[in-house]
């Protein structure tokens, strides 16, 4: 059985500092405790800088949702141009997808601003 030679260290943060810490760790896609450990050891000159990984902003999900909305808009435009009444279900579906896309864009902007 392998022994773990690590010891716990406790410290206190203001809520906004804790939020910032967790956001930074999330951007690096690592655990917050690992992020703190590397930052402290780097500051003490005992570890090299933490390398940044590419930020996953969920662009696949974004493009997929945008494509779906584009398809729905094309269908709606086709129906409007052929004088067929637009069904309420189509409108509600489109509104839901637009709202989901808005939320995702806001999420991306928040990640980029932190």
CB atoms within 10 A of CB 5: 5
Note whether 71 and 79 are within 8 A (CB): no
pTM here is: 0.41
What's the pLDDT tens digit per position in 21-69?
998 888 777 888 888 888 888 888 887 665 655 556 666 777 777 787 7
Find how far residue 47's CA is from the centre of its chain: 28
% of the chain with per-residue pLDDT over 70: 76
Residue 89 — pLDDT band, cuts 50, 70, 90? low
Listed in sequence order, the residues at least 6 apart from 98 whose beta carbon sits closer than 8 Å to its beta carbon are 69
Measured in residues, the chain has a length of 114
């Amino acid at each position: 059985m392998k022994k773990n030679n690590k010891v716990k260290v406790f410290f206190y943060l203001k809520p906004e500092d804790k939020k910032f810490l967790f956001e930074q760790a999330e951007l690096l896609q690592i655990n917050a405790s690992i992020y703190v450990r590397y930052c402290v050891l780097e500051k003490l000159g005992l570890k090299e800088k933490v390398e940044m990984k590419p930020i996953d902003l969920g662009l696949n999900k974004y493009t997929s949702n945008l494509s779906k909305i584009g398809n729905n808009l094309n269908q709606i435009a086709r129906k409007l141009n052929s004088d067929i009444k637009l069904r309420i279900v189509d409108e509600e579906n489109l509104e839901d997808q637009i709202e989901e896309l808005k939320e995702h864009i806001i999420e991306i902007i928040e990640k980029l601003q932190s």
